Chain A
C-alpha cells in the first residue's frame, strides 16, 4: 500500500500498527519521555488553575463567537484581503486546492516551492501533487524537513518528527544530505539543516505557508512559528501562497492575543513563540522586499459538514495546539503514525471523520478509554469525549435518511446492535437482571478462561459467589 493510499482507509490496520508500537519498548519509552516533557512545559505556563480556567473560557467564547458568524466573516475576510492585494481562492476539496496551487505555480513557471509548516498542506497531500507536476516542494520547518527526508509523514501536528531520535536523524542526514558526515550533536544537525534550507529560500519560486488565524476586519493572515522559516517562506520567494481551513477566521484583531497566548502556552509551553508573523499584503510600490503576489486558499474539505451540526461544530473550535495529543494516554502509547490520518490523537479522531467520511474512520472513535484528559486540557474547551461518543453513535447506528455525517452507519453491525438491545432488555427489567445475575453467580465456574481481549493481560472475569443483593437479603 502506498503512503498516499494510507489516508483513504486509515483505520484499516490501526490495531496492527498500534500493536507494533506498543510492543516496542524503545518507542514506548521515547514517546512517554517526549510527552512528559511537553506536559511539564505546559503545566509551568499555567501555574494558576483559576487563570487557566478563565483563559480557556475566553478562548472557547472567542472561537464560538466567530464560528457563530462564520459565513459573514469569510466574506468580510475575502473583501479585506482583496482590498489589501491578497488574492483569495476557495476550494471545496483537496483536489481543488491542489489544482489552485499548481495553477499559480504554473503561471509563474515555478520549479521550486519552499514550505513553511502547514498541516492543511499535509491534509491535501500537496507534496504528492507537486511531485506529480514536476515541482520540487521542500519542507523548511526542521521537523517537517526531517520527516520529508525520511519519506514519512508527521507524527504530531506541532512536532512532526517527535518519533525520531537524534541518532536516527544523524544517520538520515549522513545518508541523504550530500557531503554531511555523521554527527548526533543536535546543534550541528540543526546547522546542517539550516545551511541546506537557507540556499533554497533564496532561489525558490514559491513560498507556501499555513495560517493560524485570519483576521476578517483587517484582512490579515497570522502565522505562529519558532524557526524563522515561516517568515522566510512568506517573504523571500516572489510569490507567497497561504492555505488554511475555513474555520480559522476571527472577526477582530483583538481576538488574536488571547488565542495566541493559549496556543503557544498549550502547544510548546512557551509564553510566546519566537516568531509571530502578520501578513497584510504583497510588496507595495517603492518597497524593497516581500513577495509581489500573495494568495490565500480557503479549504472546506468536510468542515461545512461539521459546521452544519450544532454539536459537531465544536470540532471547528480547534486552534491546533496539540495539547490533547500530549496528554492522551492512547497517543502516548502508540504515537501519531498508528492513526494513519493527517491529524492524529484525540483531535484527529474527531476531525478526520469529517475530512475522510465515517467509512474510512468508522472504528477510530473506539480507540479511546474516555478518560477525558483531552477535554480537560483543551485551551478552547472542545468537549472531545462528548464528540467521540457522538461519532460512535453516528458510526454504529443503522444507516438512515438525511444523516448528519458522510458515512453514517458505516460501523453498523446487526449483531452488535442486537447484543446491545439484548443487554438493554435484561438491564431494564429487574426480573431478568435478577435471573441472569443469579445464574452468573451460581454458575461462575462456567465463565470461560479466555475472554477475548480482556484476558490477553488479565485473569478472566468471574462473578462473585453471592451478589450484593443476596448478601443484603441474608443479613436481613
Chain B
C-alpha cells in the first residue's frame, strides 16, 4: 500500500534499527540514512540497546539463540512509530520471522505481530510512506543497483530502490544480466561453502562490471560486504590501486546526490 497517497498522516517520529552489520561495518551508511530522514523533517530515534535482529542464528538452525537475541530487540520500540531498517534482509527477519519465532509465547507473540506491521525497509519507507521525491544535484553518472534476495522475495520491495534511483535526473541505472540472482552472501553460507559462494560472487561482480556502471549501490550492507569484499580482492589480485567498481549503500548515494 502506498501510504503517501493514502490518508495516513506522515509520521513525525521513527525508530531506526541500524542492524549489527551497519553499526559495526558500515556506520557511514547508517549516518547517511538517518541524516536523510532528518532532512525530511522526521525525528529519528536510535535505541542504544539495539544489537542484531537474530537472523544469523535463525537461518543457521539455532532458533533458541535467535529468539533470545530477538527478544531484546522486541522490547526496544515501545511507541507506535515506524521502525526503519536500512536492510531488506534484517527487515524481513523482523517483519516475517519474528511472529513465528515467538508463536509459543502469547505475550511476545502479540508484540511481534504488532511490531511486524511497523517494520519498513529504508527505500520502502522513503517511497511508500514519505513519498520522497529526491531532487538530483549531482553530475551525470551511471550506476547499477543490486537488490538483496530478502528485499526482493521476502519484503517484496525490489522496485523501491529502482524508483528512487529512477527519479534522479542525472543518474542512469544500468541493467545487469541475472539481476535477480543471489550474490552468494547468505551469511554463514559464505564461510561454510566458500567454493560455491565464491563462484556466485565472482559471477555477480562480472555481471555488474559488464554494465560499465561507475558504481554499484544496494540497500543491503550484507550483499555490499560480499560484493565489495570480492571486488577489492580481485583488484588486489590484478594489482589495481583504485577500486574497479566502487559501491555504497543507497542512502549514502541519495544523500550525496541531493546535498544542498
Name the A residues within 8 Å of B71 (CB-CB): 428
A457, B153: Cβ atoms closer than 8 Å = no
Taking the complex as formed, is A452 at the interface, i.e. its CB lies under 8 A from any CB of chain B? yes
Q: Could you tell me the distance between the alpha carbons of A250 and B167 in the complex, rounded to whole angstroms?
A: 51
Taking the complex as formed, is A15 at the interface, i.e. its CB lies under 8 A from any CB of chain B? yes
Given contacts A22-B199, A424-B69, A458-B201, contact A329 B184 (CB under 8 A): yes
- Could you mark each residue 224-241 of chain B with 1 if its beta carbon is under 8 Å from any beta carbon of chain A, else 0? 011001101110100000
Q: Could you tell me the distance between the alpha carbons of A472 and B23 in the complex, rounded to whole angstroms?
A: 11
A452, B191: Cβ atoms closer than 8 Å = yes
Given contacts A18-B195, A454-B191, A458-B229, contact A392 B60 (CB under 8 A): yes
A330, B63: Cβ atoms closer than 8 Å = no
B232, A458: Cβ atoms closer than 8 Å = yes
B182, A329: Cβ atoms closer than 8 Å = yes
Given contacts A427-B51, A453-B197, contact A371 B153 (CB under 8 A): yes
- Could you mark each residue 41-82 of chain B with 1 if its beta carbon is under 8 Å from any beta carbon of chain A, else 0? 000001011111010111111111110110110000000000
Output the least CB separation between B162 and chain A (Å). Answer: 17
Q: Could you tell me the distance between the alpha carbons of A437 and B52 in the complex, rounded to whole angstroms?
A: 12
A472, B68: Cβ atoms closer than 8 Å = no
Output the least CB separation between B26 and chain A (Å). Answer: 7
Taking the complex as formed, is B18 at the interface, i.e. its CB lies under 8 A from any CB of chain A? yes
A471, B189: Cβ atoms closer than 8 Å = no
Taking the complex as formed, is B166 at the interface, i.e. its CB lies under 8 A from any CB of chain A? no
A428, B195: Cβ atoms closer than 8 Å = no
B30, A468: Cβ atoms closer than 8 Å = yes
B153, A472: Cβ atoms closer than 8 Å = no
Output the least CB separation between B145 and chain A (Å). Answer: 17
B185, A369: Cβ atoms closer than 8 Å = yes
Name the A residues within 8 Å of B72 (CB-CB): 427-430
Q: Could you tell me the distance between the alpha carbons of A466 and B155 in the complex, rounded to whole angstroms?
A: 30
Q: Which of the residues A389, A420, A459, A471 comes within 8 Å of B232, measured between beta carbons?
A: A459
Q: Could you tell me the distance between the alpha carbons of A417 and B60 in the complex, rounded to whole angstroms?
A: 11
Q: Could you tell me the distance between the alpha carbons of A329 and B236 in the complex, rounded to whole angstroms?
A: 26
Given contacts A396-B61, A430-B49, A468-B22, contact A454 B186 (CB under 8 A): no
B27, A468: Cβ atoms closer than 8 Å = yes
Taking the complex as formed, is A192 at the interface, i.e. its CB lies under 8 A from any CB of chain B? no
Given contacts A370-B189, A420-B57, A454-B190, contact A463 B196 (CB under 8 A): no
Given contacts A329-B184, A369-B184, A396-B62, contact A457 B233 (CB under 8 A): yes
Interface residues of A in 1-34 (CB under 8 A from B): 15, 18-19, 22-23, 28, 32
User: B66: nearest residue on chain A (CB-CB)?
Assistant: A424
Residue count of chain B within 8 Å CB distance of chain A: 70
A369, B189: Cβ atoms closer than 8 Å = yes
A376, B196: Cβ atoms closer than 8 Å = no
B198, A22: Cβ atoms closer than 8 Å = yes
B226, A458: Cβ atoms closer than 8 Å = yes
Given contacts A371-B182, A392-B61, A456-B194, contact A427 B54 (CB under 8 A): yes
A370, B149: Cβ atoms closer than 8 Å = yes
Taking the complex as formed, is B193 at the interface, i.e. its CB lies under 8 A from any CB of chain A? yes
Name the B residues within 8 Å of A19 (CB-CB): 195
Taking the complex as formed, is A349 at the interface, i.e. its CB lies under 8 A from any CB of chain B? no
User: A422: nearest residue on chain B (CB-CB)?
Assistant: B65
Taking the complex as formed, is A253 at the interface, i.e. its CB lies under 8 A from any CB of chain B? no
Q: Which of the residues B182, B203, B230, B236 comes within 8 Å of A369, measured between beta carbons?
A: B182
B65, A421: Cβ atoms closer than 8 Å = yes
Name the A residues within 8 Å of B226 (CB-CB): 458
A430, B196: Cβ atoms closer than 8 Å = no
Taking the complex as formed, is A469 at the interface, i.e. its CB lies under 8 A from any CB of chain B? yes
Interface residues of A in 369-419 (CB under 8 A from B): 369-373, 375-376, 389-397, 417
User: B184: nearest residue on chain A (CB-CB)?
Assistant: A369
Taking the complex as formed, is A308 at the interface, i.e. its CB lies under 8 A from any CB of chain B? no
**Residues of chain B having any CB pair with chain A under 8 Å:** 18, 20, 22-28, 30-31, 34, 46, 48-52, 54, 56-66, 68-69, 71-72, 149-150, 152-154, 180-182, 184-203, 225-226, 229-230, 232-234, 236
8 additional contacts (CB under 8 A) given A428-B68, A433-B51, A471-B31? A369-B182, A373-B180, A396-B62, A424-B62, A452-B194, A457-B234, A461-B25, A464-B28
Task: List 10 interface pairs A-B (beta carbons < 8 Å), by A numbering.
Answer: A367-B192, A367-B196, A371-B149, A372-B152, A375-B153, A376-B153, A427-B20, A457-B198, A464-B24, A468-B22
**Residues of chain A having any CB pair with chain B under 8 Å:** 15, 18-19, 22-23, 28, 32, 329-330, 333-334, 365-373, 375-376, 389-397, 417, 420-421, 423-424, 426-430, 433, 437, 440-441, 452-459, 461, 463-464, 466-472, 475
Of all A-B residue pairs in the complex, the 9 with the closest CB atoms, nearest first, are A453-B194, A369-B186, A392-B61, A371-B182, A458-B229, A424-B65, A430-B49, A393-B61, A468-B27
